[in-house]
Chain A
Amino acid sequence: MPEMTYRDALNLALKEEMRRDPMVVTWGEDVALYEGSFKVTRGLLAEFGEKRVLDTPISENTIVGVAVGAAMAGLRPVAELMTVNFALLAMDQIINHMSKIRYMFAGQTHLPMVIRAPGGGGSQLGAQHSQSLETFFMHAPGIHVAVPATPADAKGLLKAAIRDENPVMFLEHELLYNSKGEVPEDPEFVIPFGKCDVKREGKDVTIVAYSRMTVLALQAASELEKEGISCEVVDLRTLSPLDADTFVVSAAKTGRAVVVEECWRTCGLGAEIASRIYENCFDKLLAPVERVSGLNVPMPYSRKLEKLCIPQVGTIVAAVKKVMNEKY
Chain B
Amino acid sequence: MPEETIASLAVRRLSILDESGTADAALLPSFSDDEIRRCYELLVLSRAFDTRALALQREGRIGTYPSILGQEAAQVGSALAIAKSDWVFPSFREMGMHITLGYPLDLLFRYWAGDERGMHAPDDLNIFPVCVSVGTHIPHAVGAALAAKLRGDPIAVVTYFGDGATSKGDFHEGFNLAGVYRAPVVFICQNNQWAISVPVARQTAATTLAQKAWAYGFEGVQVDGNDVFAVYRATSESLEKARSGGGPTFIECLTYRLGDHTTADDASRYRPAVELEAWRGRDPILRLRRYMEQKGLWSEAYGKDVQQQAEARIDEAVHMAESAPPPEPGEMVDAACATLSPRLQRQRDELVQTS
Give residues in A with beta carbon < 8 Å to B.
25, 51-52, 54, 56-57, 59, 61-62, 64-75, 77, 92-93, 96-97, 100, 102-108, 110, 141-142, 164-166, 194, 240-242, 244-245
Contacts and interface: CB of A to CB of B under 8 A. Distances in A.
Given A25-B150, A61-B170, A106 B119 contact: yes
Interface in B102-144: 116-117, 119-121, 128-129, 133, 136-144
A97 B89 CA distance: 13
A66 B119 contact: no
Contacts of B337: 102, 141-142, 166
Interface residues of B, number: 45
Contact of B119 (A51, A77, A104, A194): A104
Given A25-B150, A106-B117, A142-B336, A72 B144 contact: yes
A96 B142 contact: no
B-side interface mostly: helix
Given A65-B140, A68-B139, A166-B339, A57 B173 contact: yes
27 contacts: A52-B150, A54-B181, A57-B176, A57-B177, A59-B169, A59-B173, A59-B176, A61-B170, A64-B139, A69-B137, A69-B141, A70-B144, A72-B144, A73-B144, A75-B146, A75-B151, A92-B170, A93-B136, A102-B336, A103-B336, A106-B117, A106-B335, A108-B120, A142-B337, A194-B342, A241-B341, A241-B343
Closest 4 CB pairs of A and B: A65-B139, A69-B143, A69-B140, A62-B173
Nearest to A144: B337
A71 B141 CA distance: 11
Contacts of A92: 133, 136, 170
Contact of B144 (A69, A244, A245): A69
Given A56-B177, A69-B146, 16 more contacts: A59-B177, A61-B173, A62-B142, A65-B143, A65-B173, A66-B139, A69-B141, A69-B147, A70-B143, A71-B143, A74-B147, A77-B143, A106-B335, A108-B119, A241-B343, A242-B341
Contacts of A102: 335-338
Contacts of A73: 87, 143-144, 147-148
B174 interface: yes
A73 B338 CA distance: 16
A240 B342 CA distance: 11
B129 A105 contact: yes
Given A62-B174, A69-B143, A166-B339, A105 B136 contact: no
Contacts of B173: 57, 59, 61-62, 65
B237 interface: no
A156 to B, nearest CB: 18
Interface string B68-87: 00000000000000000001
Contacts of B55: none
Contact of A104 (B87, B129, B334): B129
Contacts of A70: 143-144, 146-147
B28 interface: no
B332 interface: yes
B180 interface: yes
Given A70-B144, A108-B121, A244-B343, A75 B150 contact: yes
Contact of B334 (A72, A97, A107, A240): A107
Contacts of A68: 139-140, 143
A242 B121 CA distance: 33
Contacts of A96: 133, 136
B147 A57 contact: no
Given A92-B136, A106-B117, A66 B146 contact: yes
A57 B268 CA distance: 43
Contacts of A65: 136, 138-140, 142-143, 170, 173-174
Nearest to A102: B335
Contacts of B89: 69
Contacts of A51: 150
B142 A69 contact: yes
Contacts of B133: 92, 96-97
Interface in B316-350: 332, 334-339, 341-344
Q: Name the residue among B87, B128, B337 with the largest chain A CB count within 10 angstroms.
A: B337
A68 B133 CA distance: 15
Contacts of A165: 338-339
Nearest to B172: A59
Nearest to B145: A69
